[in-house]
Amino acid sequence: MSNLNPVLLQSLEQVVGEAGLIRDDERMQSYLSDWRNAYRGKAALVVRPASTDEVAAVVRLCGEAGVTLVPQGGNTGLCGGSIPDDSGCQVVLSLTRMTRIRQVDPANETITVEAGVILQHLQEAAAQVGRLFPLSLGAEGSCTIGGNLATNAGGTAVLRYGNMRDLTLGLEVVLPDGRIWDGLRGLRKDNTGYDLKHLFIGSEGTLGIITAAVLKLYPAVRSRTTAWVALPSPQAAVDLIGRMRALCGDRLTGFELMSRQSVEFVLRHVAGCNDPFTEVHPWYVLIELSDTLVDASLAEMLESGLGEALEQGEALDAVVAGSEAQVAALWKMREGISEAQNHEGPSLKHDISVPVSSIPAFIEAADRKLQEAFSGVRIVAYGHVGDGNLHYNISKPPGSDDVLFKAQAEAIMHVIYGVTRDFAGSISAEHGLGQAKREAARHYKHPLELELMRTLKQALDPAGLMNPGKLL
Amino acid sequence: MSNLNPVLLQSLEQVVGEAGLIRDDERMQSYLSDWRNAYRGKAALVVRPASTDEVAAVVRLCGEAGVTLVPQGGNTGLCGGSIPDDSGCQVVLSLTRMTRIRQVDPANETITVEAGVILQHLQEAAAQVGRLFPLSLGAEGSCTIGGNLATNAGGTAVLRYGNMRDLTLGLEVVLPDGRIWDGLRGLRKDNTGYDLKHLFIGSEGTLGIITAAVLKLYPAVRSRTTAWVALPSPQAAVDLIGRMRALCGDRLTGFELMSRQSVEFVLRHVAGCNDPFTEVHPWYVLIELSDTLVDASLAEMLESGLGEALEQGEALDAVVAGSEAQVAALWKMREGISEAQNHEGPSLKHDISVPVSSIPAFIEAADRKLQEAFSGVRIVAYGHVGDGNLHYNISKPPGSDDVLFKAQAEAIMHVIYGVTRDFAGSISAEHGLGQAKREAARHYKHPLELELMRTLKQALDPAGLMNPGKLL
């Protein structure tokens, strides 16, 4: 039951109505842990405002009472950024009732949506006017635009279209004092001072609450081809993406690297997946080309590039999908890795990035240092080559003890993050910091950068009311 | 002669050497006014550090002495942002000796350059490794990367590649206290806290001094086609860009609108320019398609799209360039407008943006209100349709008095900015605020937005040492 001041509770109920308040312990549960159940907290209350004005009023009332807020969207984050702490004193502010698509402007190639709109619904709304909203990630059926913005979401289309940050033209934000900043401008050029929107994007709810956004749309894709390619090494993947990009330019919309270990887990655990090749190879990439033209000769272009790559020894074998069913089967292999790894016991996930040119040396150094210190661990490396982003995940040695392995998690993390730092990389490429990586960020980010971040936090949220304990 | 404290002067000379100090009044002149000679100031000194450490030392020394700094690049800005005030107490910090290209990393598709590198040199360095650095603007032979970053430069390639902001992965910045923030990361994904680089980009030197940057490269363009199209109205231009974008996707790299008035001035004043059509039309667009493929069938694609547009009445006439010489001739018409207008007496320049879908209504409303209030003025409207960015410039009525016309400048500006505000537009799309639009920004930006900007300025430069009197 709620341990909030009854006067505040009554004021909040006046703002959001009974439908907007959840006080019942049982009904609160789904708001108190993330979808993987990796993080769990307590809350005084879950409040679900239905409009920007209601969000503003809730923020103002909680601020006056000194109650801290935890903004929450679809709760699909991987770092616990939307989960309250254990105190039971925080209020979870869920944006999931703010689901309006406020405007679609095909001539401006923009769409204006509220924070609670689910990514997939946005993709569908774009498709209805013959446009593409390119952000694409595993959780797209549940995650919300507000969460995508707060964490600057990435995914598989970043190679061509950029992160959520790059897809955003304008924001509406409720500030920590409850005032509403209306930055909902659908402008592609606006040089009239500091760019405020970029401060809120990726700030994980620590500077304000994003309530709506103007997002970019792109021309619909009308043709698509996919290939599955076997490679001798990560260096071959870097060479091959350079070759394909020079040849195909913006048509190259996907380039996903997978180690043999990753593919083996999929073949073992995901029903209906089959190795396209008879021989075993150390590395694979999935390449996707797409175009606005219906008849864009993509398969010919792909075959021409791969032909050269095979000649040069960059590629060992290749198959170009001949049907939509084959395309889906190849993507299923890539998308099945995370699930497949769960069947092999606990998996330690790391979402790092380095310059693309450093991927081969990063993998070599990280593999070597891990095997030296934690002999027999299985390295499940895969990711988005063009973004320099690797999901460098670790499974225990076969047959070893789960508990002993998990006890090594922090030591393994430090090996991987240490190598990441050696290559001027990032310890969180696309997942954010949340509560999971806050301490690691303190260790691996430069102190001056942390100081600048604290200066900005202090300037915009001096009372520390917005999502405390996350990110900073 | 310098009126600086002699101790400070000596300390600065110890940092930058004699070659890095300019005290002589005559030699200072070119640093005290912009290339158009629209703004002119005085300075105690011009200091030209040759490295980041030297910049840091200069900033620290001046800060300790309470002397304010005006960072300066190629001095090609249009709003006086790099020109000191009239006090003669400010120090101009010129970055023009910092011209090193620190690293080219083709596999990461990045280049790391210092602030004083001239844009054209960067374009050439990219071309040498078979890559494109897409930023392109009139001043590219003189403007520097530091200035491009400080003003978030735009230009003609924004339609496909974005502004300078979108081309930047990392920054090195000397902070107002003289510390160096090393954010020179070549990462396409990094979600480990607030995005600091976006705060400095476009801040016009008011938050710190950008000394170097990691910038994105793109595949070289290997084919290009251009068309000149006559249109009945701005609405037809909006319809046509929608049609061409849906058809050609990312191949559409240029779409420039010009009124008949703009073209007439060019035909009258720029040698070697000829109207491609025998009939007079009210509006024109220049369309450019480009591709990484050598043989990309761009002309066929353009002709196919224009054929449909002619059928639908969106286009009235069209010519596709048949040679590189014809391409150059068409671009010369577009690029000659600014110069041509100068032959018709003083011109009042306005660099506004609105949503693309609002361009027709903006032009209709602004034209009507101007003619009502200032009968006979000639409206020279042209710009980048896909960015919603119009250069909406005004020439005096034929034969009227220059001085009387110039006296109306502010009243004319308020009419245009008022209509811009009605359409949720920006009063400075790509030129920044500098000293020229600082007061106008106070009037046309929302007070809350100005307050947030002042909060950030106060947090990062509490002593107000960095380029005071600009932007804010």
Contacts of A191 in chain B (CB under 8 A): 151-152, 154, 202, 426, 428-433
State how far the Cα of B116 lies from the Cα of B144, in Å rounded to an integer.
Answer: 5
- Phi, psi for A429 (deg, rounded to 5): -75, -50
Question: pLDDT at residue B115 above 60?
Answer: yes
Query: Is residue B117 domain-shared with residue B179, that is, in the same domain?
Result: yes
Strands A21-22 and A45-47: antiparallel
How many domains does chain B contain in total?
A: 4
State how far the Cα of B79 lies from the Cα of A344, in Å rounded to an integer.
Answer: 62
Q: What is the pLDDT along chain A (472 residues), one digit of tens a residue?
A: 457 899 999 999 999 999 999 999 999 999 999 988 999 999 999 999 999 999 999 999 999 999 999 999 999 999 999 999 999 999 999 999 999 999 999 999 999 999 999 999 999 999 999 999 999 998 999 999 999 999 999 988 999 999 999 999 999 999 999 999 999 999 999 999 999 999 999 999 999 999 999 999 999 999 999 999 999 999 999 999 999 999 999 999 999 999 999 999 999 999 999 999 999 999 999 999 999 998 889 999 999 999 999 999 999 999 999 898 999 999 999 999 999 999 999 999 999 999 999 999 999 999 999 999 999 999 999 999 999 999 999 999 999 999 999 999 999 999 999 999 999 999 999 999 999 999 999 999 999 999 999 999 999 999 999 999 999 9
The b/e string for A398-437 (b: 16+ C-beta within 10 A; e otherwise) is eeeeeeebeebeeebbebbbebbbebbbbbbbbbbbbbbb
For the full predicted model, state whether its pTM sits above 0.95. Answer: yes
**A458 within some domain:** no
Q: For A5-150, where are the alpha helices, taking DSSP H only?
A: 6-16, 25-32, 52-64, 119-128, 145-150
Nearest by CB to residue B163, choosing from A189, A203, A441, is A189
Interface contact B432-A154, CB threshold 8 A: no
Contacts of A87 (CB under 8 A, 6+ apart): A42
Tell me whether residue B397 is exposed, middle or buried, using C-beta atoms within 10 angstroms of its C-beta: 0 to 12, 13 to 18, 19 or more: middle
Q: Which of B303, B324, B340 is the last residue of a domain?
A: B340
pLDDT in tens, B31-83: 999 988 999 999 999 999 999 999 999 999 999 999 999 999 999 999 999 99
Question: pLDDT at residue B1 above 50?
Answer: no
Count CB-CB contacts under 10 A for residue A272.
Answer: 8
Instruction: Determine which of A188, A255, A444 to mutate to test the interface with B (most B C-beta atoms within 10 Å).
Output: A188
Q: Which of A187, A219, A251 is the last residue of a domain?
A: A219
Contacts of B453 in chain A (CB under 8 A): 193-194, 196
Interface contact B429-A460, CB threshold 8 A: no
Contacts of A353 in chain B (CB under 8 A): 187-190
Q: Residue B338's closest CA among B410, B266, B284, B282?
A: B266
CB-side exposure of B283: number of CA atoms within 13 Å?
Answer: 21
Residue A383 and residue A440 in contact, taking contact as beta carbons nearer than 8 Å: no
Contacts of A455 in chain B (CB under 8 A): 459-460
Query: Is residue B254 domain-shared with residue B295, that is, in the same domain?
Result: yes
Distances (CA, A) of B148 to B114, B161, B163, B172: 12, 15, 9, 14
Q: Residue A46's closest CA among A84, A76, A79?
A: A84
Question: pLDDT at residue B398 above 60?
Answer: yes
User: Position B137: which residue type?
Assistant: L
Contacts of B432 in chain A (CB under 8 A): 191-192
CATH of the domain at B20: 3.30.43.10
Query: Is residue B279 domain-shared with residue B232, that is, in the same domain?
Result: yes
Number of residues written out for chain B: 472
Query: Is residue A269 domain-shared with residue A370, that is, in the same domain?
Result: no
Query: Under the phi-then-psi rule, with left for phi > 0, alpha for psi from -120 to 50, and beta for the rest, what region is A388?
Result: left
Query: Is residue B74 domain-shared with residue B120, that is, in the same domain?
Result: no
Tokens of B332: 């010369």
**A52 within some domain:** yes
Residue B199 and residue B456 in contact, taking contact as beta carbons nearer than 8 Å: yes
Measure in Å the smallest separation between the Cα of B220 and chain A Cα atoms.
Answer: 7
State how far the Cα of B394 lies from the Cα of B390, in Å rounded to an integer.
Answer: 12
Residue reference for tokens 């005096």? B396
Residue reference for tokens 């002397």? B67
Measure in Å the smallest separation between the Cα of A87 and chain B Cα atoms.
Answer: 24
Query: Is residue A116 domain-shared with residue A187, that is, in the same domain?
Result: yes
Which DSSP string corresponds to B64-89?
HHT--EEEESSS--SS-TTS--SSS-
**B395 within some domain:** yes
Nearest by CB to residue A203, choosing from B108, B194, B449, is B194
Q: Sheet containing A110-114: give its strands across.
A: A101-105, A110-114, A209-216, A168-174, A180-183
Distances (CA, A) of A417 to A77, A411, B76: 20, 10, 43
What is the predicted pLDDT for the residue at A325?
92
Contacts of A343 (CB under 8 A, 6+ apart): A265, A268, A269
Query: Is residue A262 domain-shared with residue A330, that is, in the same domain?
Result: yes
Name the residue in chain A with its Cα closest to that of B354.
A187
**A43 within some domain:** yes
Residue B69 and residue B57 in contact, taking contact as beta carbons nearer than 8 Å: no
**B456 within some domain:** no
**B333 within some domain:** yes
| Secondary structure (3-state) at A307 | helix
Contacts of A195 in chain B (CB under 8 A): 152, 165, 198-199, 201-202
CATH of the domain at A359: 3.30.70.2740
What is the predicted pLDDT for the residue at A2?
54
What is the predicted pLDDT for the residue at B2?
54
| Secondary structure (3-state) at B398 | coil
CATH of the domain at A264: 3.30.70.2190
Domain region containing A11: 6-94
What is the predicted pLDDT for the residue at B213?
98
Residue B356 and residue A109 in contact, taking contact as beta carbons nearer than 8 Å: yes
- Phi, psi for B409 (deg, rounded to 5): -55, -45
Instruction: Determine which of A185, A192, A385 to mutate to test the interface with B (most B C-beta atoms within 10 Å).
Output: A192
**B471 within some domain:** no
Q: Which of A281, A311, A340 is the last residue of a domain?
A: A340
Measure in Å the smallest separation between the Cα of B238 and chain A Cα atoms.
Answer: 7
Measure in Å the smallest separation between the Cα of A118 and chain B Cα atoms.
Answer: 21
Tokens of B76: 């090609």
Q: Residue B74's closest CA among B138, B165, B5, B16?
A: B138
Interface contact B107-A387, CB threshold 8 A: no
Contacts of B173 in chain A (CB under 8 A): none
Interface contact B472-A193, CB threshold 8 A: yes
State how far the Cα of A189 lies from the Cα of A142, in Å rounded to an integer.
Answer: 32
Nearest by CB to residue B108, choosing from A185, A191, A355, is A355
Query: Is residue A122 domain-shared with residue A69, that is, in the same domain?
Result: no
pLDDT in tens, B305-318: 999 999 999 999 99
Q: Residue A187's closest CA among A168, A201, A174, A173?
A: A168
Nearest by CB to residue B455, choosing from A179, A293, A459, is A459
| Secondary structure (3-state) at B286 | strand
CB-side exposure of A464: number of CA atoms within 13 Å?
Answer: 7
State how far the Cα of A35 lies from the Cα of A57, in Å rounded to an integer.
Answer: 29
- Phi, psi for A104 (deg, rounded to 5): -120, 125
Interface contact B355-A433, CB threshold 8 A: no
Contacts of B444 (CB under 8 A, 6+ apart): A192, B417, B420, B421, B427
Query: Is residue A296 domain-shared with residue A382, that is, in the same domain?
Result: no
Contacts of A109 in chain B (CB under 8 A): 245, 356
